[in-house]
Amino acid sequence: MKGIRKDVFGVFHDPCSGVEVEVDRYTLTSPSGVEVQVISYGACVSTIVVPDKSGKKDHVTLGFDDMKGYLENSYQGSTIGRCANRIGKGKLTVEGQHYSLSINNNGNHLHGGTGGWDKHVWESHVLDESVVFSRLSPDGEEGYPGAVVAQVKYSLDAGGGLRIDFEAMTTRATPVNMTNHCFFNLAGHAAGQKGILQHIVRVNADHFTPVGQDLIPTGELTPVRDTAYDLRSPTTFGEALPRAPGNGFDHNFCLQFKRRGELELAAYFLHPATGRGLEVYTTEPGVQIYTGNFLPREANKMIGRGGTSYTYQGAFCCEPQNFPDAVNQSNFPSAMCYPGQPYKHSMMYKFFVEK
């Protein structure tokens, strides 16, 4: 591994304090040619560059050249917290007490709310060969009980595997469900929907959690067999998406893990023309597969890196996490974090090139 480089990405004008805060950027490079940049705004992965089978490098995630892009477009590469995914009607009960969270998604609470962890500048430092971000989420932030100290550590190994370790400690019982929200296109960030449809995908899940029209889980755990959600055998997005309701995925898949707490393969993606591949590993029980259904349908509504227009289904997300709305579903794995019992989640984006 080469040394980690640090510079300033931009300036964030904090709307609460009115103070301008510098946003740090760190660059990590592996001998395999993978380059990753992370920034302190949203503890965000801003850049991943991967070579193809001919050695040509390209960005494989959506991203922006400056702070303006990140401020105007949510979740691009960000750390998501305090609770990833949706919580129905923003309601939850903890130890007999009812709480109302901020509402920011069709009457529901999504990805930590209007001021979720993706919308703050985190403290940062280099530790050995890793970059560590941390922040204090105060008691009552977005309606959640308890103060939480959260940490995200990014480490890039020699083979091009980006490991992300999440940890959180709380002063009171509270739900915690952290993940990363990179938007991928292994054909290159500018390849759009055409590039996505060419991807081969496989998800190591034998059940999924059905949702209602509001995308809140019904509470059922349904076998994927004989459904549009059976991605256990390799298929292309081009074949799979037309079979999915609404011609796209935004669903939680229940992983076939035998050992909770150890990194296991959740999903595999390959773009055959470039040879770029991605394996996603996690210690969590679920993974949200999202195919960019809410990216703008019109060109030039979202202008990304290098002036690229990002549009509908021009990228996919693979978000390892606990099940959505787990705080309100008794048969889902618990999403609760308690004092003295730190929350921990490890995941890895492992890149490879198939010749």
| Plot region of 123 (φ>0 → left; ψ -120 to 50 → alpha; else → beta) | beta
Alpha helices in 64-191 (DSSP H): 67-72
Is 86 annotated in a binding site? The answer is: yes
Q: Tell me phi and psi for residue 305, to 5 degrees.
A: -50, 130
Opening angle at CA 89, ends 87 and 90, nearest 5: 55
Q: Decide if 271 is catalytic.
A: no
- 346 pairs with which residues across the strands? 165
Q: Decide if 284 is catalytic.
A: no
Q: Which one is catalytic: 109, 181, 189, 271?
A: 181
Opening angle at CA 348, ends 84 and 209, nearest 5: 40
3-class state of residue 165 by DSSP: strand
Q: Residues with Cβ < 8 Å from 48, sequence gap 6 or more?
A: 34, 35, 36, 59, 60, 61, 162, 182, 349, 351
| Alpha carbon 20 to its chain's center | 27
Rounded to a whole number, what is the largest CA-CA distance in the chain? 59
Element (H, E) at 264: strand 264-271
Q: Residues with Cβ < 8 Å from 44, sequence gap 6 or more?
A: 38, 70, 76, 77, 78, 79, 118
Residues of 38-57 as b/e, b for ≥16 C-beta within 10 angstroms? bbbbbbbbbbbbbbbeeeee
Q: Locate tokens 């919580």: which residue? A: 87
Query: Within 10 Å of residue 2's Cβ, how many Cβ atoms?
Result: 12
Q: Active-site positions?
A: 181, 319
Q: Which residues are part of a known binding site for beta-D-galactose?
A: 85-86, 250
